[in-house]
């Protein structure tokens, strides 16, 4: 859907499209060397409809009078910036861009992507890769990813986009899957089940027990082994204490030493998830 | 020139040298740094504007187990094909030891058995000489039979995606992903019917997984709407269905028996590994322009999860069971998921934006519920029967959630600010859980750009979750014995209670949440950029727990007794986080960056010790250490504090422009966990201190500490127009202290070696021994890394 440029910038209300990029190049040649290596420049030179004015609006008045004032890209504001991009990129998951948390939080496409030069080998991100781009705003996650138990993001074997759909997810945390568990089992399909004996909090939300962005405890657990289990389990006897001499829970992996199938059991003797 | 052929690329070949303590798997946990030649980078980019064809390749660390290769080709106005290959190691240990030999297909055999002298339950005092002699026999067995075992996995994932590249009006995409994961991970092999009689061993579970995903996507775009359809088929296969391990304690010493009570231990333990499963999901996406300068988005999704693996018998020694027949031969587990997400956004007037949403998700469990009579951990009574309490029904847990909310944003003239107010209600209904929950969330947010150099944001959220009607007795549905079958047994979870009635499981309990986010960004010039942010989240799980009478109405002498009425479980959590991030680029030649993150997370939990064997008659153990569920003085608390600090800094300096560049970056991370433990365990119910070797003794454990320091430097020399020499050095130091990974603490000790741990009570009860693969499977290290590379650009 073409943008209403007159609304976006009243200074363009009376302008028309020049529709000739060579006119732009006469004055803005300094941008072109870098721009011509971008996917946009290549696409526009390969038959894909688009030009300078696709993104910068009708510029006939600007050509007539280069000093004539119009809004800068920054002054257009985030919603208009995104609307410019969505003229062409409203397909796929981006069809839901307007519904996303990013969109309603003053984030625009240009917050993460650089169009006028190739700042990265893929996806035109403003930083060298997706993860570093996300860290520009989500700096706290960079700190969390440094923890001893972590997903291999800092080793560049995963990126934020491995779990988050940055463009069009309608879930609260912009997840790739419909739910947290659907997202986690994309890679951890062995825990997907369903199982004969379900562990209900596991089925509902992996984050009941795990910190996806990093933890001081092994296996990304939110708490130290048996202290996590004891947050919910108080049956009596050994299921009540972090140390009880008939069980080995202060060492090894705590309760999991015996209750090895905490994600769900498929054994007919698996009611207590020891099989 | 827009009518040219563009071809460029880089090939970086280097020599990598690593000097690190081989004992630590942590250094190469998720990477494959090792001595040798390396194709570090291959990047190739070709574009021909006359045809519109392009071809791109990016490959990193080629030939190593952490390599990635990506290729894409196609036409900008037409079809495209991409191929992606990624390998990820997950190294767990270089020092793990086991007495087992792996025979393949999940079967582990010991090279011998331990001729030990187990003692009859309750007949020998703790620390008896005969018991310690048995431990020494095990230690001796291990010293003769332990050998190294690999511990870690390798994940290789390949993806091929084809985009038809039709037009905005119609597009079609097909993607196939094949992922294989192989290796081994830590597991345990408990054999025995209950904790006192559990023979346990830590060993390496083989991993041989394959997941294949096929995804078809089609989309159609109209003048003011888009429509999409996606179908995903995901199939998981585990090439190893069953894990079988030999009981290393299978041979009693001459003239002695360890199986002197009425239990038959199996010579082997056996359990199924992750079952094959299938996940199918169809999704329809729709988005269109809507009234009041609005947009409407909708996602509808339907999925099925299926798992029908053949079930193992109740026990490895199934032939001795009185009732060996299973209710069904395979799992027949099936779930369906439904999702509907609807969002309407609008900009009715210039200064107002509206957003309203509805999110519905339903997970329905169609797995048949059956009555099982199981034995525990391959052990059964000698007469083949099993406890009445082992008559259990598999409950088909299911849930659905509904979130409805709205948000309004006012754009104000003052400081170019935006004021946002929002409300959301969440309702989650659950089958076979303690409570349905409903939560009201209110948000208030203010964003402003008072000048071109400042951006400010403040957001406050208040959430009030209600778990009213919390009812822990739903677990009764998971038992199918009769009161007559239970007889006079006082541990009778179906007709008394399972969890302590004062327990509130945190995920379904009441919760009041206060969350505050503040951030400020200052960009005084193009050279400077600072961001500071603060997050505070405070969760209070107070659920107004009051004393109850869980036995009320039962014909029992203790029917009128009350619980203490103090909430058990997770009581509160709070988290504070400060992040500072800055960069300074005084010139094109120099960029400096730094960041700091502080995060402190605290939680409070409470529980209590009581004897499960006296649920019906707590007064009979009123003075015993392992006492009644009525006694508040048997409660304990644990306050956990996770403290994390990270500091990072970097510099990129073109010492001689176009000739010599220097990049340096470093990180320091400290993660600490303190658990302040008080109450029962430190003392008995009367406040008398327990010794560390008391069977219930516990106290505040030592601080858990992880510290990582990384320093990387890279010096680049331009040798000629298209060639760079890169010299890199990396230093890493990792320290770890974790009482639970030690070989000796006040509560457990090693016997002979770190591979046999024993509770310091030195009880005759075998559940307090653990044969393990070693303490600190991935210990600290100091590592040096050097690389000399030649990068050729073309």
Q: What is the pLDDT of residues A19-69, one digit of tens each?
A: 999 999 999 988 888 898 898 999 998 888 899 999 999 999 999 999 888
Which residue matches tokens 């000698």? B382
CA distance A209 to chain B (A): 10
If DSSP states are collapsed to H, E and C, what string results for B149-169? CCEEEEEEEEEEEEECCCCCC
Please determine, for residue B506, whether its predicted confidence score (pLDDT) is greater than 70: yes
Backbone CA torsion sign across B619, B621, B623, B625:
negative
| DSSP of B120-151 | -TTTS-TT-HHHHHHHHHHHHHHHHH-EE--E
Residues in a beta bridge with B581: B531, B595
Whether residue A48 and residue B595 make contact (CB cut-off 8 A), yes or no, is no
What's the rounded Cα separation, in Å, for the pair B108 and B110? 7
Which of B361, B420, B499 has its CB closest to that of A178?
B361
Please answer whether residues B360 and A171 qualify as being in contact, where contact means their C-beta atoms are separated by less than 8 angstroms. Answer: no
In this prediction, residues B188-202 reach a mean pLDDT of 83
Residue B3: per-residue pLDDT: 59
The string of pLDDT tens digits covering residues A66-93 is 988 889 988 898 989 999 999 989 888 8
Give pLDDT, residue B544.
95
Collect all residues of chain B within an 8 Å Cβ-Cβ radius of residue A156: 60
Task: Judge: A260–B673 Cβ closer than 8 Å, yes or no.
Answer: no
**CB–CB of A269 and B376 under 8 A?**
yes
Residue A168: predicted pLDDT: 86
pLDDT-derived band at A140, boundaries 50, 70, 90: very high
What does the pLDDT read at residue B199?
A: 83
pLDDT band for position B260 (cuts 50, 70, 90): very low
Residue of A219, A189, A212, A194 whose CA lies nearest to A204: A194
- DSSP collapsed to 3 states, B524-589: CCCCEEEEEEEEEEEEECCCCCCCCCCCCCCCCCCCCCCCCCCCEEEEEEEEEEEEEEEEEEEECC
CA–CA gap between residue B82 and residue B90 (Å, rounded) = 26
Which position has the token pair 């067995």?
Answer: B141
Of A37, A146, A190, the CB nearest to B6: A37
Residue B46: closest CA among B101, B98, B5: B5
Cβ of A42 and B47 within 8 Å? yes
How far apart CA A244 and CA B566 sit, in angstroms, is 22
What letter does residue B628 receive in the DSSP assignment?
A: -
Three-state DSSP at B11 gives: strand
Task: Say which residue the tokens 């503040």 belong to.
Answer: B518
Task: Specify the residue for token string 């009981």.
Answer: B247
Give A213 or B257, the one with higher predicted confidence.
A213
Is it the case that residue B249 has pLDDT exceeding 90?
no
Top-confidence residue, B258 or A72:
A72
Average pLDDT, chain B: 93
| Residue in the structure block whose two tokens are 């500490």 | B705
Asked if A87 is an interface residue toward chain B (Cβ–Cβ < 8 A), one would say: no
Q: Is the pLDDT of residue B122 over 60?
A: no
Mean pLDDT of the region B635-654 = 97
- Give residue B563's pLDDT: 98
Mean pLDDT of A118-133: 88
Residue B115 has which token pair?
A: 């001729």
CA distances from B750 to B95, B116, B188, B758 (A): 17, 18, 18, 6
Secondary structure class of B233 (helix, strand, coil): strand
To test the contact with chain A by mutation, choose from B138, B157, B272 the residue with the greatest count of A C-beta atoms within 10 A, namely: B272
| Mean local confidence (pLDDT), B309-338 | 92
For all residues of chain A together, what is the average pLDDT? 92
Backbone angles phi, psi at B654, to 5 degrees: -85, 90
Q: Indicate yes or no: CB of A235 within 8 angstroms of CB of B609.
A: no
Residues with Cβ < 8 Å from B592, sequence gap 6 or more?
A: B583, B584, B585, B649, B650, B651
By the 8 A CB rule, do B443 and B407 touch?
yes
Residue of B683, B544, B556, B558 lying closest to B630 (CA atoms): B558
Q: For residue B51, what is the nearest residue in chain A, using CA coordinates?
A: A46
Q: How far is Cα B434 from Cα B508, in angstroms, rounded to an integer? A: 7
Given a cut of 70, whether residue B403 has pLDDT beyond it is: yes
| CB neighbour list of residue B366: distance below 8 Å, 6 or more residues apart | B334, B335, B336, B396
Residue B317 has pLDDT above 90, yes or no: no
Do the Cβ atoms of B357 and B341 come closer than 8 Å?
yes
Nearest CB among B190, B226, B355 relative to A90 is that of B226
> pLDDT tens-digit profile of B363-380?
999 999 999 998 887 877
Tokens at residue B10, please?
């880089």
Query: What tens digit of pLDDT does each residue of A198-231 get?
Result: 999 999 999 999 999 999 999 999 999 999 999 9
Q: Out of A105, A254, A258, whose CB is closest to B190? A: A258
Q: Following DSSP, what letter does each residue of A113-134 receive, concatenated?
A: B--SS--SSSTTBSSSSHHHHH
Note which residues in 115-144 of chain A have CB less than 8 A from chain B. Answer: 121-122, 139-140, 142-144
Please say whether the beta carbons of B432 and B474 come within 8 A.
Answer: yes
pLDDT above 90 for B180 = yes
The answer to whether residues B512 and B539 touch, using CB atoms and an 8 Å cutoff, is yes
CA distances (Å), A183 to each of A162, A191, B94, B167, in order?
A: 9, 12, 31, 30
Q: B272 is written with which tokens?
A: 């199924």
Q: For residue B259, what pLDDT is reported?
A: 46
Picking from B107, B89, B97, the residue whose alpha carbon sits closest to that of residue B183 is B89
> Whole-angstrom Cα distance, residue B606 to residue B503?
9
Strand, helix or coil for residue B58: strand
And the tokens for B323?
């009732």
Give the separation between CA B284 and CA B342, rounded to whole angstroms: 12
List Cα–Cα distances, B609 to B100, B230, B568, B625, B642, in angstroms. Answer: 37, 52, 11, 9, 25
**What does the pLDDT look like over B36-53, one tens digit per residue?**
999 999 999 999 988 999
- pLDDT (mean) for B94-104: 97
Q: In this model, does residue B12 exceed pLDDT 80?
A: yes
For A98-114, what is the mean pLDDT?
91
- Do the Cβ atoms of B297 and B342 come closer than 8 Å? yes
Q: What pLDDT was estimated at residue B124?
A: 67
Q: Which of B248, B252, B79 is nearest to B163 (CA)?
A: B79
β-bridge partners, B53? B48, B75
- The partner residue sitting opposite B597, judged by closest CB among A105, A139, A274, is A139
Alpha-carbon gap, residue B747 to B694, rounded angstroms:
9
| C-alpha closest to that of A95 among B221, B222, B216, B287 | B287
Is 90 exceeded by the pLDDT of residue B198?
Answer: no
Of the given ranges (A255-259, B533-537, B711-715, B785-789), which has the lowest mean pLDDT? A255-259
List all residues 6 or more positions away from A28 whose beta carbon is below 8 Å from its beta carbon: none
pLDDT at B186 over 80: yes
B243-279 burial string, b = 16+ CB within 10 Å, else e?
Answer: bbbbbbbbebeeeeebbebebbbbebbbbbbbbbbbb
Give A-chain residues touching B569 at CB under 8 angstroms. 231-232, 234
Please report where in the chains the tokens 């999991």 appear, as a residue. Answer: A256
What is the reported pLDDT for B262? 57
Would you call B52 and A223 a contact, using CB atoms and an 8 Å cutoff?
no
| CA gap B14, A100 in Å, rounded | 44
∠ CA A61-A62-A64, nearest 5°, is 65
**CB-CB contact of A254 with B740 (8 Å):** yes
Beta carbons of B635 and B656 less than 8 angstroms apart: no
Strand partners, B671: B644, B706
- Model pLDDT, residue B116: 63
Share of chain A above pLDDT 70, in %: 100
Q: How many whole angstroms separate alpha carbon B613 and alpha carbon A258?
A: 21
Please indicate whether, in this complex, the C-beta atoms of A253 and B186 are within 8 angstroms of each other.
yes
Q: Does A147 touch chain B (CB under 8 A)?
A: yes
Cβ neighbours of A254 in B, within 8 Å? 740
CB distance A99–B499 less than 8 Å? no
Instruction: Give the pLDDT confidence score for residue B767 in this predicted structure.
Output: 82
Minimum mean pLDDT range among B27-41, B160-174, B566-580: B160-174
Work out the pLDDT band at B252, boundaries 50, 70, 90. Answer: low
Phi, psi of B233 (to 5 degrees): -120, 120
Q: Longest Cα pair distance anywhere in chain B, in angstroms?
A: 95
Quick check: A250 and B331 CB within 8 A?
A: no
Which of A190, A257, A274 faces B209 most closely, judged by CB atoms?
A190
B1 falls in which pLDDT band (50, 70, 90)? very low
pLDDT of B610: 96
Tracing tokens 């003048």 back to the chain, one arrives at B223
Return d(Cα B388, Cα B62) in angstroms, integer: 59
Statement: residue A164 has pLDDT above 60: yes
Residue B502 Cα to chain centre, angstroms: 28
CB contact under 8 A, A236 and B377: no
Kindly give the residue spans of alpha helices, DSSP state H, lying in B371-469. Answer: none
Tell me how close the Cα of A147 comes to any Cα of chain B, in angstroms: 7
């Amino acid at each position: 859907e073409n943008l209403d440029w007159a609304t976006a910038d009243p200074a363009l209300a009376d302008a028309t499209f020049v529709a000739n990029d060579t006119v732009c190049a006469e004055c803005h040649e300094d941008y072109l060397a870098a721009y011509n290596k971008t996917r946009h420049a290549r696409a526009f030179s390969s038959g894909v409809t688009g030009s300078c004015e696709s993104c910068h609006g009708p510029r006939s008045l600007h050509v007539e009078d280069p000093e004539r004032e119009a809004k800068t890209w920054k002054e257009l504001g985030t919603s208009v910036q995104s609307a410019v991009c969505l003229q062409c990129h409203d397909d796929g998951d981006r069809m839901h861009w307007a519904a996303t948390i990013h969109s309603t939080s003053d984030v625009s496409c240009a917050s993460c992507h650089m169009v006028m030069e190739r700042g990265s080998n893929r996806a035109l991100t403003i930083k060298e890769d997706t993860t570093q781009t996300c860290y520009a705003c989500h700096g706290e996650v960079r700190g969390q990813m440094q923890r001893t138990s972590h997903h291999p993001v800092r080793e560049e074997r995963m990126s934020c986009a491995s779990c988050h759909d940055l463009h069009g997810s309608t879930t609260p945390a912009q997840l790739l899957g419909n739910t947290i568990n659907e997202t986690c089992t994309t890679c951890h399909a062995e825990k997907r089940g369903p199982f004969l004996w379900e562990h209900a909090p596991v089925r509902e939300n992996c984050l009941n027990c795990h910190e996806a962005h990093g933890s001081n405890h092994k296996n990304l657990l939110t708490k130290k082994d048996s202290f996590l289990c004891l947050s919910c389990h108080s049956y009596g006897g050994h299921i009540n204490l972090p140390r009880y001499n008939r069980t080995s829970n202060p060492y090894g992996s705590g309760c999991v030493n015996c209750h090895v199938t905490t994600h769900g059991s498929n054994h007919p003797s698996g009611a207590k998830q020891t099989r | 020139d827009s009518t040219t052929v563009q071809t460029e690329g880089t090939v970086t070949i280097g020599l990598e040298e690593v000097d690190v303590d081989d004992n630590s798997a942590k250094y190469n946990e998720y990477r494959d740094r090792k001595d040798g030649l390396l194709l570090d980078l291959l990047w190739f980019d070709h574009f021909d504007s006359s045809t519109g064809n392009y071809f791109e390749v990016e490959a990193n660390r080629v030939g190593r187990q952490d390599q990635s290769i990506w290729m894409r080709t196609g036409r900008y106005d037409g079809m495209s094909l991409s191929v992606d290959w990624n390998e990820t190691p997950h190294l767990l240990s270089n020092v793990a030891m086991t007495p087992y030999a792996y025979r393949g297909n999940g079967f582990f055999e010991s090279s011998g058995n331990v001729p030990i002298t187990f003692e009859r339950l309750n007949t020998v005092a703790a620390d008896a000489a005969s018991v310690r002699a048995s431990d020494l026999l095990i230690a001796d067995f291990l010293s003769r039979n332990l050998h190294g075992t690999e511990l870690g996995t390798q994940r290789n994932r390949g993806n091929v995606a084809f985009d038809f590249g039709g037009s905005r009006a119609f597009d079609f995409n097909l993607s196939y992903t094949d992922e294989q994961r192989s290796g081994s991970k830590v597991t345990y092999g408990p054999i025995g019917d209950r904790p006192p009689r559990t023979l346990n061993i830590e060993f390496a579970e083989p991993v041989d997984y394959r997941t294949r995903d096929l995804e078809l996507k089609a989309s159609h775009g109209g003048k003011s709407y888009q429509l999409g359809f996606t179908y995903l088929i995901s199939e998981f296969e585990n090439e190893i269905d069953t894990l079988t391990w030999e009981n290393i304690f299978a041979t009693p010493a001459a003239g002695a028996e360890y199986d002197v009570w009425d239990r038959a231990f199996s010579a082997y333990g056996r359990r199924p590994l992750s079952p094959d499963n299938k996940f199918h999901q169809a999704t329809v996406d729709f988005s269109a322009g809507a009234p009041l300068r609005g947009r409407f988005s909708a996602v509808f999704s339907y999925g099925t999860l299926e798992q029908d693996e053949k079930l193992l018998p109740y026990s490895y020694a199934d032939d001795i069971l009185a009732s060996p027949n299973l209710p069904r031969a395979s799992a027949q587990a099936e779930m369906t998921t439904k999702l509907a997400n609807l969002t309407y956004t609008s900009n009715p007037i210039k200064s107002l934006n509206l957003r309203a949403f509805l999110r519905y998700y339903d997970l329905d469990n169609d797995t048949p519920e059956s009555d099982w009579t199981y034995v525990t951990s391959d052990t059964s009574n000698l007469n083949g029967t099993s406890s009445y309490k082992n008559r259990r029904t598999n409950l088909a847990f299911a849930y659905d959630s509904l979130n409805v909310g709205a948000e309004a944003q006012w754009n104000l003239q003052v400081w170019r600010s935006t004021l946002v107010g929002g409300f959301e209600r969440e309702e989650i209904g659950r089958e076979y859980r303690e409570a349905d929950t409903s939560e009201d969330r209110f948000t208030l947010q203010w964003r402003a750009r008072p000048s071109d150099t400042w951006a400010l944001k403040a957001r406050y959220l208040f959430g009030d979750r209600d778990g009213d009607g919390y009812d822990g007795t739903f677990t009764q549905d998971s038992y199918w014995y009769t009161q007559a079958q239970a007889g006079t047994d006082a541990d009778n979870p179906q007709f008394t209670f399972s969890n302590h009635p004062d327990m509130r499981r945190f995920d379904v309990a009441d919760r009041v949440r206060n969350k505050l986010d503040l951030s400020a960004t200052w960009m005084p010039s193009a050279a400077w950029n600072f961001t500071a942010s603060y997050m505070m989240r405070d969760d209070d799980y107070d659920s107004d727990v009051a004393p109850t009478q869980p036995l009320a109405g039962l014909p029992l002498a203790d029917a009128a007794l009350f619980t203490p009425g103090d909430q058990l479980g997770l009581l509160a959590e709070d988290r504070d986080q400060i992040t500072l991030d800055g960069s300074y680029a005084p010139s094109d030649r120099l960029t400096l960056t730094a960041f700091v993150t502080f995060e402190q997370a605290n939680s409070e939990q409470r529980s209590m010790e009581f004897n499960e064997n006296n649920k019906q008659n707590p007064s009979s153990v009123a003075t015993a250490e392992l006492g009644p569920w009525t006694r508040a003085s048997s409660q304990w608390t644990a306050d956990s504090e996770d403290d994390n600090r990270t500091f990072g800094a970097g510099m990129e300096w073109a010492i001689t422009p176009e000739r010599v560049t220097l990049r340096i970056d470093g990180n320091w991370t400290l993660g600490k966990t303190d658990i302040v433990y008080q109450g029962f365990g430190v003392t008995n119910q009367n406040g008398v201190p327990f010794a560390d070797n008391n069977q219930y003794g516990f106290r505040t454990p030592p601080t858990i500490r992880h510290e990582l320091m990384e320093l990387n430097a890279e010096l680049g020399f331009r040798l000629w127009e298209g060639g760079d020499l890169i010299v890199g050095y990396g230093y890493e130091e990792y320290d770890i202290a974790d009482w639970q990974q030690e070989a000796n603490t006040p509560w457990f000790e090693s016997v002979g070696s770190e591979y046999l741990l024993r509770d310091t009570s030195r009880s005759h009860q075998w559940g307090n021994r653990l044969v393990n693969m070693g303490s600190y499977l991935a210990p600290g290290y100091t590592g040096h890394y050097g690389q000399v590379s030649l990068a050729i650009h073309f």
